Amino acid sequence: MANSILSGKVLQNEAAAIAWVEARVWPEGPVCPHCGNCNGDKIGKLTGKTARPGLRKCYECRKQFTVKVGTVFEDSHVPMHLWLQAIYLLCSSKKGISSNQLSRTLGVTLKTAWFMSHRIREAMRFVGVAPMGGGGEVVESDETYIGRREGVGRPRAGSYHKNVVLTLVERGGSARSFHLDGQAISDIMPIVKANVAKDSRMNTDEGPHYNDLKKEFLEHKTVNHKADEYAWHTGDYVDGKPYVVTTNTVEGYYSIFKRGMKGVYQHCKEKHLHRYLAEFDFRYSNRIRLGVDDVERTERAVKGIVGKRLTYRTSHI
């Protein structure tokens, strides 16, 4: 019988877990997070009885550090092997895993599990604005409504009281979502222009806020959902495949997103929505169809821990 991945040494042994993270954060050897020294001859490993696992000292700035410093793990008392278990569970659960479930599985308090979840989502967050699409690739854009805006009165007909989410999906590629915090849908053009290459083919619905896309991109085609039109063939080919105009790909993303938010997380404050979007974007952009399995997805999440410090206090702001 095959062994459970969770029974592996890296997820059960603290020294092995620290060494595994160090190999990914420092692929060319330790780097002092205080002064940037990367000379291995001037960085020593402390192994005394009172030394913490993985503790090192830089003989340039005379300061001590571990691989946790300068990452989302900094100042955390949770053992590294439990951190890796949490990351694996969050990366391998298609619709996410609740803090209550994480608390019971890892044997930590609910407060700790909740904070760990948010730190992991921060590690998953995409950094940079490298454009999507390009080279005639198809990028679908759509928006959805979820939750309730803070400071808005009792719910009423329509979507006025809900949070607006814009998502861009490169067909056969990655997803990038944005919480339009206080912005009207008509203000999305700067976001789309900053995140999509100009030589891309844009597919959207018939929303009037997309009218100017033809001026900015290689092509803009729409489907008329009000007329029950959801896909149509252009007769052209993209990458050797028939070019079908549709927004079904981005709507498929929303299907997973809403099942997770409503079925697993159930409630999300508006100020935390951007981190949940980062979580679902990360899993979608690193999915099995793109050749990324659960273990590789976990490794990619760990590589994103650097430079994203998140304290318990700021996570509540």
For the stretch 273-290, pLDDT in tens is 999 999 999 999 999 999
Which helix (DSSP H) or strand (DSSP E) does residue 243 occupy?
A: strand 241-246
Residue 310's pLDDT is what? 66
Residue 284's pLDDT is what? 97
Residue 307's pLDDT is what? 82
Closest CA relative to residue 45, chosen from 24, 66, 60, 28: 66
Residue 126's pLDDT is what? 84
Adjacent-strand bridge partners of 170: 139
pLDDT < 70 positions in the chain:
1-2, 129, 153-158, 310-317
Q: Round the average pLDDT of the chain to a whole number and report it.
A: 91
CA 111 to CA 207: how far, in whole Å? 42
pTM: 0.91
Residue 219's pLDDT is what? 95
Whether residue 13 contacts residue 85, with contact meaning beta carbons closer than 8 Å, is answered with no
Whether residue 119 contacts residue 304, with contact meaning beta carbons closer than 8 Å, is answered with no
Which helix (DSSP H) or strand (DSSP E) does residue 300 occupy?
A: helix 294-303
DSSP line for 44-79: EE--STTPPTT-EEETTT--EE-TTTTBTTTT--S-
Residue 312's pLDDT is what? 55
CA 83 to CA 13: how far, in whole Å? 12
Residue 127's pLDDT is what? 80
Whether residue 256 contacts residue 106, with contact meaning beta carbons closer than 8 Å, is answered with no
Residue 155's pLDDT is what? 63
Topology of the domain covering 138-293: Nucleotidyltransferase; domain 5 (3.30.420)
Residue 82's pLDDT is what? 97
Q: Where are the domains of the chain?
A: 1-70, 138-293
Residue 154's pLDDT is what? 66
